Amino acid sequence: MPASPTSKQIAIVGAGICGLCTALGLAKQGHKVTVYERDDPLPDGDPDEIFFEWLRRGASQFRHPHAFLAAMSNLLTEQFPDLIENFWQAGARKVTFQEMLPPELSQRYTPAPEDEALWLLMCRRATMEMVLRRYALQQPNLTIASGIRVNAMVTEMVGTQMQITGLTVQARAANAQPSNINADIVIDAAGRGSPFKRWFQQTGLAIETESHDAGIVYYTRHYQFKPGIDEPKRDGKTRSAGDLGYLKYGVFPGSGGHFAVILCVPCDDNILHDAVKDDATFDQICSAIPGLQPWLGADQAVATTPSFGMGNIKAVWHDFSHDNQPLLLNYYAVGDSSVRTNPLYGRGCSTGAIHSKILTDVLSQDQDPVSAATQFAEETRKQLRPIWQASLDEDRTGIKRAQTILTASSAPAALTLKKRFAIAYGDALTRSTQIHLRVFRGAFRTFNLMELPGAFLKDIGTQALIFWTLIRYGAENKKARVVPGPDRDEMIASLAPEAAQHAA
């Protein structure tokens, strides 16, 4: 067992989900933790009041759908077992492995011990933050300072290395004056808009950054079923999430009859980009997709928000070291401040929770700042880089597919034998997840970040089932990836007359 840490004064910038998870873990270790958050405090009220009334300008994804994948759900359950009960009381939903099975597999399902851990927690992001923050406010050693701007970092030189020793903070209240606070450790959980990157640059510290644009925007609209209307059953005939090539869609069920729909389109598709911005055409698009008709058809749900979007979607990886030495001692960036993936895949909260657990494990060992920073960087790369790379690969595949549809007039490129086999193998893998429980279980572990991407494909039994499917069904396997729905021309024609005229 690692030695008990010496209690430190720790400042965390950002009271989002990753910041709060980190704060809870470090406060539990006995550190004195203060979280600085520029937005207003959490107001009183129930989940609906919090969702509609709390202004969270600092969280760009606050009203977009979220889910805690199994990796995060299990981490929170193990670390804070009483916290999970608070989610259930707030109306969060537990979606089990068995509930996610395709109908054909559900009929002949045999449970395995690992299935108990393969569950998702689903509710609105506002509810997630409400539960986490109320729980955090009850913990010893943990203070949340809301309505506080962080204006700068305070640093000093220790030999040849710079270290952070505190922050310059200022209340948002009128006539408030800035002041310096001291901290043994500063944690950047300020998200994708973190100001620390700018301060590093101003201080002459060069962060190495990889940034890749996903080439998409996505729009969300929230709905609620009318009284007496129940959530549709999973029947296998339609898919409540899918990829039409030119458009991706998905339903995120919530509590109390609430649910959200996301529509994701390429930035370059001006027609559909304009369409998803508008409430009426957003609903028209949804009504044309078979997978969404059970949710929105027959006037059975009412919209509770307008359509709202999110852009600047990128896969970003920041490296805060140079020649394997930390750029700034006693500074750690977690979550989107350090590693960012396309939020379309729903991995952000869970990778943030994994990252916070990496950091709390490192800081549980009373080691010098250089060793701690080095270990944190190594574990971050080991545990998160494969997930980041898999997300980037998915982005690139999606960009190519969308471009092919948008430039349909050009002749298709000839496929090499290797490429044709790769496509056939991918189709067989998709089909296998629908008909073989072993393959579905492995893919579900990957989806839930319970193992590194693709790890289940190393299993010999899984390989045999995929190759058997490839040989047995051949070209029929491509049907497994076909999502029912109109093609792009049909979709545009189904929209308002001005959209069809624009297309022409």
Structure tokens at 131: 């539960």
As a three-state string, the secondary structure of 403-457 is HHHHCCCCCCCCCCHHHHHHHHHHHHHHHHHHHCHHHHHHHHHHHCCCCCCCHHH
What is the mean pLDDT of the segment spanning 178-201?
96
Residue 79 near residue 24, CB atoms below 8 Å: yes
What is the mean pLDDT of the segment spanning 51-61?
81
Burial of 214 (0-12, 13-18, 19+ CB in 10 A): buried
| pLDDT level of residue 102 (50, 70, 90 thresholds) | confident
Helix (H, G, I), strand (E, B) or coil at 371: helix
Task: Check residue 3 and give its pLDDT.
Answer: 40
CB atoms within 10 A of CB 340: 22
101-135 burial, b if ≥16 CB within 10 A, otherwise e?
A: beeebeeeeeeeeebeebbbbbbbbbbbbbbbbeb
Angle at 380 between CA 374 and CA 383, to 5 degrees: 135
Considering the entire predicted model, what is its pTM? 0.92
pLDDT greater than 50 at residue 503:
no
Structure tokens at 30: 């006995």
pLDDT greater than 70 at residue 90:
yes
Structure tokens at 66: 């979220």
Task: Check residue 499 and give its pLDDT.
Answer: 55
Instruction: Work out whether strand 185-188 and strand 331-333 pair parallel, antiparallel, or are unpaired.
Output: parallel
Task: Check residue 444 and give its pLDDT.
Answer: 96
| pLDDT level of residue 235 (50, 70, 90 thresholds) | low
Report the side by side order of strands in the sheet with 120-122.
Answer: 67-68, 120-122, 93-95
Rounded to whole angstroms, the Cα distance separating 39 from 3 reads 37
Residue 33 near residue 10, CB atoms below 8 Å: yes
Task: Check residue 497 and give its pLDDT.
Answer: 65
Amino acid (1-letter code) at residue 375: Q
Rounded to whole angstroms, the Cα distance separating 185 from 10 reads 5
What is the mean pLDDT of the segment spanning 76-85?
94
Task: Check residue 175 and give its pLDDT.
Answer: 87
Of 227-231, 412-416, 434-438, 486-490, the poorest mean pLDDT is in 412-416
Angle at 456 between CA 452 and CA 462, to 5 degrees: 170
What is the mean pLDDT of the segment spanning 193-199?
95
Q: 260-274, 392-406, 474-488 — which one is most confidently predicted on average?
A: 260-274
First to last CA, the chain: 68
> pLDDT for 109-164, tens place per residue?
999 999 999 999 988 888 999 999 999 999 999 999 999 999 999 999 988 899 99
Would you give the DSSP letter of residue 114? Answer: G
Rounded to whole angstroms, the Cα distance separating 487 from 244 reads 7
The percent of residues above 70 in pLDDT, for the chain, comes to: 95
Rounded to whole angstroms, the Cα distance separating 225 from 251 reads 13
| pLDDT level of residue 29 (50, 70, 90 thresholds) | very high
Residue among 132, 152, 126, 128 nearest 144 (CA): 132
> pLDDT for 388-408, tens place per residue?
999 999 999 888 888 888 887
Rounded to whole angstroms, the Cα distance separating 398 from 222 reads 25
pLDDT greater than 70 at residue 504:
no
What is the mean pLDDT of the segment spanning 419-437?
92
Cα torsion angle, 106, 72, 243, 229, sign: positive
Residue 428 near residue 443, CB atoms below 8 Å: no
Structure tokens at 175: 């006539």
Phi, psi values for residue 428, rounded to 5°? -65, -35
pLDDT greater than 80 at residue 350:
yes
Domains of the chain: 7-212+313-410 (3.50.50.60), 216-311 (3.30.70), 412-504 (no CATH)
Rounded to whole angstroms, the Cα distance separating 85 from 89 reads 6
